[in-house]
Amino acid sequence: KKYGTYQAQGIAEYQPSFPFGSPNQKKLMLGQVNFLNMADEVYESFPNEKLVVHFQMGKPQVVVRDLELAKLVLIKDFDHFTDRRTVQMSVETEAQKVMSLMLTIIKGEQWKAMRNMISPIFTSGKLKAMTPVINKIGDDFVKHLEPLARSGEEFQAKDVMTNYTTDVIANCAFGIEANALKDPNSLFKRMILGLTGGVKGMCRVLTILFLPPVARLLKLSLLNEESTDYFVKVLKKTMKDRRESKVKRNDLMDMIIEALQDSKTNEGPTEDDQFERDAQVKPNNFQSIPQEDIEMYAIANAFVMFFAGFETSSTIMAICSVMLANHPDVQERLLTEIQDIIEEHGSQHLPYDVVQTLPYLDMVINETLRHYPLAVAERECVKDYTFPGEKLTVTQGMLVQVPSPAIMMDSQYFPNPKTFNPENFSEASKATRSPYAFLAFGQGPRNCVGMRFALLQVKIAMIRTVANYQIHRCSKTIDSFRVSPSSASSQPIGGTYITVSKRS
């Protein structure tokens, strides 16, 4: 009955028809497009509209095509849009309970309080303390590439990068030696890779999102239960050992426990830049976490750092490696920038502050993220909202999407958008467009809380790779990336094949 009601009010509507709704939703449900690119077609089909309504079966959703309106949703009027999409999953087992408490999923005041406590974990001071650990894993990583360079074999960059991020996050988050670089078949790594779980995982996610009653009936979980259960057990044991030994490692686990135990609100931004200032969130009626629930919340939040952190970061490093293989000129320029700092500091003890002073590396990574973003900024409306100067009122429960992949491929913000051009992120280019056109880590209070940590581990891996090896194209290297519709972890069609050779 709702089809056509928006169009009748003069609001653009994307051709809904029974039973799937709009054409893009039909493609999503039939496995023809990835969730990540679901709204791209809507964005591209209405170049003159600021807002477009599309239908997921009978449910209207809004695609925001205008950066000023996107800013209202993500930042200025965020109080109307504090939540992400409701995930209706079963919460019977312990693993399911942990999943239901993850920062990515929780809502309203519960999310505000948790986010407020968790954000200060990623300040520069704390990241500085973690840098030696990442440098040490960087050494193992360089060694791990040696046999591949010797044999000249074609390999998937994603595989080796997964081994690296697994070791970094396991170590920095929980103080656990996952040993994925030394033993790529380690149980820890197998459990990690099982979390999202390929095509089966994608079917599970689509059922939860589009057919919640069926998901409830089948007691489906968002992530693979066996893997989640394994991590819950590992985390519980870690917490118990720390309680008993009273040893502090100053890793994410210690910091999460401390933040939850202190249970106080933090004041002001942790870093002084636009991304951090826009991310501030103040709980309205802050309630500390009851002592008896701290363990469960700490496990859920340590787990989410792991789950949200390892696959995203390793995918970006892999895509970046392929981009460098495809653009030897960019690789050479990056090498020149890196050689300067390595001459001064050596590659094994890169200080945190020095890693932050490589403008060309920043440009290369941002351009990679622009070509291959890993999440869409999506919010659920919690209080009815009328966009100023627009006819559309978004009602409570409606989803609003800011389609980051389509915005970052729009030529009005990035000229020749399909070309890989790190110059898009030179100071001069950035000055010509809104900062909100770059959405790889989202924007506003619900942006990526782990961005600084992610960038640190990505930068160290790329510095170490380029300083020690030349990255080449091989027979299976692909020229342009498209996210596989059936990949729950947003992997590209054709993989990330490269070869490397040792620099003399």
| Subset of 193-252 contacting ligand HEM (CB under 6 A) | none
Task: Say if CB 300 and CB 102 are below 8 A apart.
Answer: yes
Residue with tokens 């200060």: 120
The residue range among 205-213, 243-251, 420-428, 449-457 that interacts with ligand HEM, by the rule CB under 6 A, is 449-457
Question: How many residues bind to ligand HEM according to rule CB under 6 A?
Answer: 26
**Could you say whether residue 168 binds ligand HEM (CB under 6 A)?**
no
What is the contact mask toward ligand HEM in residues 99 to 128, using x (rule: CB under 6 A)?
A: ----xx----------x-------------
Task: Say if CB 35 and CB 24 are below 8 A apart.
Answer: no
Of the candidates 462, 408, 489, 387, the one whose C-alpha atom is nearest the C-alpha of residue 141 is 462
Q: Could you give phi then psi for residue 277, rounded to 5 degrees?
A: -60, -40
Q: How far apart are CA 335 and CA 330, in angstroms?
A: 9
**Could you say whether residue 299 binds ligand HEM (CB under 6 A)?**
no
Q: Could you give phi then psi for residue 401, rounded to 5 degrees?
A: -115, 135
**Could you say whether residue 459 binds ligand HEM (CB under 6 A)?**
no
**Could you say whether residue 371 binds ligand HEM (CB under 6 A)?**
no
Q: What is the radius of gyration, based on Cα positions, of the chain? A: 22
Q: How far apart are CA 179 and CA 187, in angstroms?
A: 9
For residue 490, the minimal CB distance to ligand HEM (Å) is 10
Of the candidates 365, 371, 454, 490, the one whose C-alpha atom is nearest the C-alpha of residue 165 is 454
Q: How far apart are CA 314 and CA 492, in angstroms?
A: 13
For residue 73, the minimal CB distance to ligand HEM (Å) is 10
Kindly report whether the peptide bond that precedes residue 16 is cis, defined as omega within 30 degrees of 0.
Answer: no
Task: Say if CB 160 and CB 480 are below 8 A apart.
Answer: no
Neighbours of 205 (CB within 10 A): 19
**Could you say whether residue 420 binds ligand HEM (CB under 6 A)?**
no
Any binding-site annotation on 381?
no
The residue range among 34-42, 283-291, 305-313, 390-398 that interacts with ligand HEM, by the rule CB under 6 A, is 305-313
**Could you say whether residue 394 binds ligand HEM (CB under 6 A)?**
no
For residue 299, the minimal CB distance to ligand HEM (Å) is 14
Closer by beta carbon to ligand HEM, 12 or else 462? 462
Closer by beta carbon to ligand HEM, 157 or else 440? 440
**Could you say whether residue 39 binds ligand HEM (CB under 6 A)?**
no
Give the interface with ligand HEM as residue ranges (CB under 6 A): 103-104, 115, 304-305, 308-309, 312-313, 316, 369, 374-375, 377, 440-443, 446-450, 453-454, 458
